[in-house]
Structure 1
Amino acid sequence: MIESAIEALMIVLDPSRLIYMFLGIGIGVIVGLLPGLSGTVGMSLLLPFVFGLEPYVGMALLIGMIAVIHTGDTFPSILFGIPGTSGSQATIMDGYPLTKKGGASRAMGASFFSSMIGGVIGGIALYLTIPFARPLITSFSSPELFMLTMLGLSMAGLLAGKSPIKGIISGILGLLIGAVGSAPAVPEYRYTLDTLYLTQGISLPVVAMAIFAFPILITMLTDKGSVSSHAKLQSGILKGVMDALKNKFLVFRSAVIGALIGFIPGLGGSVVDWIAYGAGQKTVKNNYFGSGDIRGVIAPESANNAKEGGSLVPTLLFGIPGSGTTAILLGGLTLMGLEAGPKMLSDDLPVTLSIVWTLVFANIFGALLCMLLVRPISKISLVPGEKIVPFLLVLLVVGAYQSTMSWGDLIVFVVIGLLGYVMTILDWPRPPLLIGFVLALPAERYYWISIERYGWEWLTNPLVIALAIIIVLLLAGGTIMKRFSKKFESKGGI
């Protein structure tokens, strides 16, 4: 294992791959600092461009971006009181009051350093999980793999916020869209409307960009303007770093919480920061959380970066995407000729270990970059939305068209994009739709293989029964944890 890790380190340090990692870091910081964008939007923008790339290069790009989104989203949260992503809501509670007191730089220094440490701990958690997961997952056959896809689909309810029913319906809609084209078990085409384009199915990059990025474009155009006041930045970044070092146990404790919650598919960044914030509030003595306590910034920022390492465990090792971002990452693996599951721990183990190293390096370099670019990035975040839309639109159109080089991609992009916009208006969750789409084909394939090999006897398999119990426990536990986080969210008035 150590030899494989050293080999992966040499691969990651190759200059050609480092360039892509730094490109991903830059994009991740920009996506994080622009309010309204998120990891799903950033991933959907990059996904078309990883098609055909070498796995090490493609993963350097994608993981580099994922690792630093929750570092970049600190800027709007602390400077303007606007959450850059759902994972930075709790940071506002004390970060924005600190800005009003003239301590913006101090808050950002503590935030960036805590994010860096949290991200490194998340990478270590991913690495330590591999030896334990390897003997288990390599023994899985088609029935167990089918149950794992069911576990992924069951996350639709947890990703639905207040309405699990909406999440389940959204996931079913994703399954229907994923069923377009040729069937894996029988020689027939489904829902093609007698068009040649749809016989090959709908492209994953098109669906991902349409369902997440397209609605953002419309929202940016309709919600004109930007934050008018500019936060005055003073020196204090190093003071913030020292604050994080003084509260090293809080940093470590919050990072462990983030990594553990990341292991549970479906909870996501919108939950982990509130849980870490609440835990910090209960364990830190003489605190004044909510009024500009620097520890109220340290706790959630440590957790949301560590969560990324934890969330990669079910995604890479079990093929269970627990969020929209990891669902797109799962699709990115497919585009690069990889398959989540047993192969990631055997034939593709160097790729998995390269992801660990990339996650660690990206968090370190991303935090340092943010510290160096505090002033210019704070100005970029004030750019009006209508000026950003043309740039994003060009990327989306190019990305959609180059997927299969067909005009049908652009038509599907607009149709599904409008569907995504209607879902945002009606407050319907979109990540479950993408999860359903990604898992539609493997779920059907593993189901038919299980039926053909074992009949219905595979339902009595002890591991299948155990996975069914895990599905029930995770759904119940996730619901309880969401209620716990909402209690702190309601106190913040966000």
Structure 2
Amino acid sequence: MFEIAIEALVTVLDPSRIGFMLLGISLGILVGLLPGLSGTVGMSLLLPFIFGMDPFTGMALLIGMVAVVHTADTFPSVLLGIPGSSGSQATIMDGHPLAKKGQATRALGAAFFCSMVGGIIGGIVLFLTIPIVRPIVLSFSSPELFMLSLLGLSMVGLLSGKSPMKGIISGLLGLALGSIGAAPAVAEYRYTSDFIYLFNGIPFAVVALGLFAFPVMIEMLSDNRSVSKGNKIVSGGLLTGIKDAIRNKWLVLKSAILGSVVGFIPGLGGSVVDWLSYGFAQKTVKNNHFGSGDIRGVIAPESANNAKEGGALIPTLMFGIPGSGTTAILLGGLTLMGLQAGPNMLTSGLPVTLSIIWTLVIANIFGVLLCLLLTRPISRISTIPANKLVPFLFIILLIGSFQSTKSWGDILFFVLIGLLGLVMHSLDWPRPPFLIGFVLSLSAERYLWISMDRYEFAWLTHPIVIVIGALIVVFLFGGYFVKRISQAYENNKGVDV
């Protein structure tokens, strides 16, 4: 296998294929920079051009884009407080407050370095799991997938700050909004009021942009300021951010491994992995100030983001089961180039599989280097006055929303959800739980219905279900008790004896 890996590396390093990889990287950075677009959109645009290409060249182009979209989407998340894609939501929590403090380059430096490390770890995980992945993937049936959805929903409690009840209500609102449209278990449409646009539910991009981007723009206009309140970018912040990442190397490693593991579980993937990593770090990192500009709140989700792409390729290549939206498009690309996902990718198609791994690793390194070179000029966006920046952003966001279904309903619901996000922001209600509830609503309902239909209540005794259930209990109550103990310790320490 190692001999084939070396041959695949030589093939990938062919100048013509490196050229296509760099083209994919450039397009991926562009897609990541524009809020509302995603790797799925970018991959869809590339599909017509790979028809007739040899598999190695076509994969160099596609994987080049996949590898860097979740690196470049950090720019709008940190600088503007707008999620560049579904995988960059949690980065906003601490990345944008750092930008407001004039530390945009520090946050970006840490994010890009962690993205590179995470991408490399994701590629290594993909390589190491090839011989053993089949029994692992096949061990997850609907009950386990339902429990994993609940595990994602348990992040609601971790991300609610000092108001857990507000967080729970916010999560329930997200679940309710996510249930609009076609029911996953029965042939009926819910809460559509015969509005055809709602038959397939509200697109994720519309919800994410409205919930986070709209309030930021209104706040900037009302304060009549730039993103960076000090109108400055800290000099040397890029190197400082990289040093921060190295200083927290164990957090980077743990988050990257978590991202790889969650990535290879079909149905979860990019929309929740950053929240899982963020919530895990929030409860395990000592003396943190997550939510107010803690650099570790950037390091954790960014380490997991790119690592999950390696994990998502495992079920995609081995079983034809897409682990994320971008890998679903990748399956179509494989078909266009005459390949079939499945066991063949471990036999006759093994050279192509290994070339994908090499491309994933190399593209991450090239993409991060390019983003680091662009950091300082692009960071100056945070110093542009609101009255000049917001009109341009508003047009970009409208276009990003409209591309979801090409319907006027996209724009209408972008504004309506934006107003809801503005109210929640003004009343200090947490918005991340809302988004988590929305993302996991249909998958949780689907897996629960299948589990009850197939096993009735017997699925509750499955060993993996019990283990995941124990993790949920730890997430829900463990953090509460740790917080109470630490508060009691601090109070006792402050008493004079």
Using the size of structure 2 for normalisation, the TM-score is: 0.65
Match in the other structure for 2:450: 449
Match in the other structure for 2:470: 469
**1:49 counterpart = 2:41:** yes
Percent sequence identity is 40
CA distance in 2, matches of 1:149, 1:108: 30
CA distance in 2, matches of 1:429, 1:352: 42
TM superposition shift of 1:75? 9.0
CA contact (8 A) 2:28 2:64 kept: yes
CA contact (8 A) 1:272 1:307 kept: no
Match in the other structure for 2:266: none
Q: Which moved more, 1:364-373 or 1:390-399?
A: 364-373
Does the C-alpha gap of structure 1 residues 354 and 202 become closer, same or farther in structure 2, counting only changes over 3 Å? farther
**1:67 counterpart = 2:66:** no
Structure 1 segments unaligned to the other structure (5+ residues) = 32-41, 77-83, 280-295, 320-328, 488-494
TM superposition shift of 1:378? 4.8
TM superposition shift of 1:358? 6.4
Name the amino acid aligned to 2:158: L
CA contact (8 A) 1:148 1:318 kept: no
CA contact (8 A) 2:172 2:437 kept: yes
Does the C-alpha gap of structure 1 residues 159 and 318 become closer, same or farther in structure 2, counting only changes over 3 Å? farther
Name the amino acid aligned to 1:187: A
User: Alignment partner of 1:468: what SS?
Assistant: helix
User: Alignment partner of 1:428: what SS?
Assistant: coil
Match in the other structure for 1:286: none
Name the amino acid aligned to 1:19: L
Name the amino acid aligned to 2:465: V
CA contact (8 A) 1:174 1:433 kept: yes
Alignment of 1:54-453 (within 5 A): 60-61=64-65, 63-68=67-72, 85-88=92-95, 115=114, 118-119=117-118, 122-124=121-123, 126-127=125-126, 130-131=129-130, 134-226=134-226, 227=229, 230=232, 250=247, 252-253=249-250, 255-259=252-256, 266-269=275-278, 272=281, 305-309=302-306, 330=324, 360-361=361-362, 363-373=364-374, 376-453=377-454
CA distance in 1, matches of 2:94, 2:149: 26
CA contact (8 A) 2:211 2:421 kept: yes
CA distance in 2, matches of 1:261, 1:486: 29
CA distance in 2, matches of 1:167, 1:268: 18
Structure 2 segments unaligned to the other structure (5+ residues) = 48-58, 81-90, 263-272, 289-293, 317-322, 333-339, 489-497
CA distance in 1, matches of 2:135, 2:463: 17
Name the amino acid aligned to 2:407: S
TM superposition shift of 1:313? 7.8
Q: Cα deviation per residue 1:42-91 (whole Å; 9 max; x = unaligned)? A: 4x443683484568667754541323556898999xxxxxxx94455898
Match in the other structure for 2:27: 23
Does the C-alpha gap of structure 1 residues 72 and 473 become closer, same or farther in structure 2, counting only changes over 3 Å? same
Does the C-alpha gap of structure 1 residues 273 and 165 become closer, same or farther in structure 2, counting only changes over 3 Å? closer
CA contact (8 A) 2:28 2:65 kept: yes
Q: How many residues align?
A: 427
The root-mean-square deviation of aligned C-alpha atoms, in Å, is 5.3
CA contact (8 A) 1:172 1:436 kept: yes
TM superposition shift of 1:416? 1.3
User: Alignment partner of 1:404: what SS?
Assistant: coil
Does the C-alpha gap of structure 1 residues 467 and 158 become closer, same or farther in structure 2, counting only changes over 3 Å? same
Does the C-alpha gap of structure 1 residues 85 and 346 become closer, same or farther in structure 2, counting only changes over 3 Å? farther
Does the C-alpha gap of structure 1 residues 446 and 114 become closer, same or farther in structure 2, counting only changes over 3 Å? closer
Name the amino acid aligned to 1:161: G
CA distance in 2, matches of 1:468, 1:126: 26
Name the amino acid aligned to 2:470: I
Q: Cα deviation per residue 1:384-440 (whole Å; 9 max; x = unaligned)? A: 233222222222222222322222222122111211221222222223222222222
CA contact (8 A) 1:170 1:432 kept: yes
Q: Which moved more, 1:13-22 or 1:136-145?
A: 13-22
Does the C-alpha gap of structure 1 residues 218 and 175 become closer, same or farther in structure 2, counting only changes over 3 Å? same
Q: Which moved more, 1:374-383 or 1:268-277?
A: 268-277
Match in the other structure for 2:459: 458
Does the C-alpha gap of structure 1 residues 475 and 72 become closer, same or farther in structure 2, counting only changes over 3 Å? same
CA contact (8 A) 2:115 2:368 kept: yes
CA contact (8 A) 2:25 2:363 kept: yes
TM superposition shift of 1:191? 0.5
CA contact (8 A) 1:154 1:471 kept: yes
CA distance in 1, matches of 2:177, 2:300: 35
CA distance in 2, matches of 1:201, 1:452: 24
CA contact (8 A) 1:182 1:188 kept: yes
User: Alignment partner of 1:403: what SS?
Assistant: coil
Name the amino acid aligned to 2:423: V
CA contact (8 A) 2:116 2:368 kept: no
Name the amino acid aligned to 2:38: L
Name the amino acid aligned to 1:22: S
Q: Cα deviation per residue 1:16-67 (whole Å; 9 max; x = unaligned)? A: 5542422333565x68xxxxxxxxxx4x443683484568667754541323
CA contact (8 A) 2:133 2:314 kept: yes
CA distance in 2, matches of 1:5, 1:475: 46
Does the C-alpha gap of structure 1 residues 45 and 458 become closer, same or farther in structure 2, counting only changes over 3 Å? same
Does the C-alpha gap of structure 1 residues 75 and 450 become closer, same or farther in structure 2, counting only changes over 3 Å? closer
Q: Cα deviation per residue 1:343-401 (whole Å; 9 max; x = unaligned)? A: 99979999998886666445433443355446534544321233222222222222222
User: Alignment partner of 2:383: what SS?
Assistant: coil
CA distance in 1, matches of 2:22, 2:68: 10
